[in-house]
Structure 1
Amino acid sequence: MFSNNCIEFCEYCSNFIFNPAINEREQAIQWLADSSRVLEVKIRESIELMKEISTSLANSLRKANNDVLKTSRQLLSYMDIKATIDFKLMEESAYEQKSTGYTRGKPQEWTDEQLKELTLEVKYKKE
């Protein structure tokens, strides 16, 4: 009688009881030895597959990490360039506003102190 959780091969079952008849003992031992060799091959294949997968995964992660670093550097460069350009725009806007009382787009009031702080921030970022 088989249980509900019976597995495909009886020799691998924890409920399997090895008790061959005396006249079948040699054949049964050979059967177990063959099963052991088959399992050894499966274990080695599984280990090799796991090595290949982990190596492939490590390579993928290294490439992804390099891509993230490259993108991060690019982002910092874009941010620095944008800060410099925005600073120049603010300077122009402040100069134009002081000299003509007119600004392009929305009127903005930049105090000399704010412009000084921004100048220091941009200079600090460039260094």
Structure 2
Amino acid sequence: MDIKLIKTDADYRAALTEIETLMGATLDSPEGERLDLLVTLVEAYERHHYPMDLPDPVEAIRFEMEQKGLTPKDLEPMIGRSNRVYEILNRKRPLTLKMIWRLHRDLGIPAESLIKPPHKPASL
């Protein structure tokens, strides 16, 4: 099996093209093993060249609320009274460590997103 590291954009595009042709391969076949190796190499290349940034804390909370059909009232056990929830959601107050722990535990929001410095909206 002749597989090389993906070092250039041309290597990356060629690997994607080959992956597309191998998509129907059986897992335990030589083609399936080649597909698995190519996908691993492409993922490594993408992680290095196209890193995904984590959302800021409020965006992460709003996303989980939308996905789980939650209202601000549902966040009260994790954040505090309703006025505190709205202060957090409107970026008027930062999350405390205790809030971060609870949001991570109860909603499964990655702690890395919750501790990230909040996004500052552009001023007019």
Asked whether the two chains share a fold, i.e. TM above 0.5, the reply is no
Structure with the largest fraction of helix: 1
Q: Which has the higher contact order (CA 8 A, sep 6+)?
A: 2
Shorter-chain TM-score tier: under 0.3
- Normalised by the length of structure 2, the TM-score is 0.25
- Normalised by the length of structure 1, the TM-score is 0.24
Q: Which has the larger radius of gyration?
A: 1
